[in-house]
Structure 1
Amino acid sequence: MPSLRVLGHAFRAWRRNLRWAKHEPETPYLADLLSGEPVCLHVGASDGRHSYVMTQVAPKARIFAFEPSAFAYEVLKVTTAWHGIRRQVTPIHAAVADKPGELLLVTPKKTSGRMGRAYAYVAEQAPQGPARPDLQDQGMDLQPTPVVTLDGFCAERGVEHVDFIRMDIEGAELKALQGALQILDRDRPHVLIEIHPPMLEARFGASGDEVLEIFRSRGYRMFALNGDRLEERTDLVDGVPWKDYFLIHPSKAGRLPDGVFKARMAA
Structure 2
Amino acid sequence: MIVQAFGCKFLLPRSWTAELTAPEGYENWVIPHFLSLCRPGMTVVDIGASIGSLTLPAARQVVPGGVVYAIEVSSLNCGLLAQSIVLNNLDNVRLLPLGVSDYLGFARLPRQGVSNNNVIDHEADITRTDLQSHDIVPIMPFDLLHSAIGKVDLLKMDIEGMEYRASMGAITMLRRDRPIVFLEYSPLFQSRWSGVPGVQLLELFRELGYRFEILHRKKDREPIMDGDPVTRIEAAWAEHRDADGGTHLDLCLYPLA
TM-score scaled by structure 1? 0.75
- Residue of structure 2 in register with 1:238 after alignment: 237
SS at 1:117 equivalent: coil
8 A contact 1:10–1:47 mirrored in 2: no
8 A contact 1:126–1:142 mirrored in 2: no
- Residue of structure 2 in register with 1:88 after alignment: 92
8 A contact 1:103–1:145 mirrored in 2: yes
- Residue of structure 1 in register with 2:145 after alignment: 153
Offset at 1:244? 1.1
- Residue of structure 1 in register with 2:33 after alignment: 29
Q: What amino acid does structure 2 have at the position aligned with 1:151?
A: D
- Match among 193, 207, 214 for residue 197 of structure 2: 207
8 A contact 2:107–2:136 mirrored in 1: yes
When the two chains are superposed, the root-mean-square deviation of aligned CA atoms in Å is 2.8
Cα pair distance change 1:229/1:21, threshold 3 Å: closer
Offset at 1:165? 0.5
SS at 2:120 equivalent: strand
Identity %: 23
Offset at 1:34? 2.1
Aligned residues: 223
- Residue of structure 2 in register with 1:71 after alignment: 76
Cα pair distance change 1:30/1:204, threshold 3 Å: closer
Aligned-partner Cα distance in 1 for 2:103–2:40 = 32
- Residue of structure 1 in register with 2:122 after alignment: 124
Cα pair distance change 1:146/1:122, threshold 3 Å: same
For residues 243-262 of structure 1, what are the structure 2 equivalents within 5 Å? Answer: 243-251=249-257
Cα pair distance change 1:229/1:7, threshold 3 Å: closer
Aligned-partner Cα distance in 1 for 2:133–2:254 = 37
8 A contact 1:196–1:243 mirrored in 2: yes
Offset at 1:222? 0.6
- Is 1:49–2:53 an aligned residue pair? yes
Aligned-partner Cα distance in 1 for 2:24–2:61 = 13
Offset at 1:7? 5.8
Offset at 1:152? 0.3
Cα pair distance change 1:220/1:8, threshold 3 Å: closer
* 1:47-69 deviation digits (Å, cap 9, x = unpaired): 11101121233223211111101
Q: What amino acid does structure 2 have at the position aligned with 1:209?
A: V
8 A contact 2:211–2:256 mirrored in 1: yes
Offset at 1:125? 4.2
SS at 1:191 equivalent: strand
Offset at 1:100? 1.5
Cα pair distance change 1:62/1:243, threshold 3 Å: same
Cα pair distance change 1:116/1:64, threshold 3 Å: closer
* Structure 1 unaligned spans of 5+: 1-5, 110-114, 128-139, 252-267
TM-score scaled by structure 2? 0.78
Q: What amino acid does structure 1 have at the position aligned with 2:252?
A: F
* More displaced 10-residue stretch of structure 1: 39-48 or 118-127: 118-127
For residues 102-117 of structure 1, what are the structure 2 equivalents within 5 Å? Answer: 102-106=106-110, 115=113, 117=115
Cα pair distance change 1:24/1:147, threshold 3 Å: farther
Bigger RCO (CA 8 Å, 6+ sep): 1
* More displaced 10-residue stretch of structure 1: 37-46 or 26-35: 26-35
Offset at 1:142? 2.3
